[in-house]
Amino acid sequence: MAGDEESTAGKHYVIHDVGAGGRVIQGDHDTMIESVQGLPGGIELQRQLEELLARIASAPDLDADNRELAGEKTRAVAEARGKASESPEGLRRALRAA
């Protein structure tokens, strides 16, 4: 698509020697939220969160600052949800901040 070509023009990514067991994610709006995988239904929840973050990143009704803020808050809640059994207060804080 024309818009996609414009958004990636002039960008160059190089990934070297990540190492055994290393994981890499590359791109502009890619995200990896693994903390929810251990929860019941966690794989599906991770997929849904990644789809939500992709929609936020391309939401035409949000300006760049609000897209970034919405993405940050969504990721913070997702990370805190994945760690809620260890830190329930962290989830409460993330939800209040969102």
pLDDT at 6: 43
Separation CA 4–CA 11 (nearest Å): 12
SS3 74: helix
Under the banding of pLDDT at 50, 70 and 90, the label for residue 47 is confident
pLDDT band at 5 (very low <50, low <70, confident <90, very high): very low
pLDDT category of residue 65 using cuts at 50, 70 and 90: very high
Give the contacts of 69 (CB within 8 A, at least 6 positions apart).
none
Domain boundaries, the chain: 2-97
CB 27 within 8 A of CB 49: no
Share of the chain above pLDDT 90, in %: 33
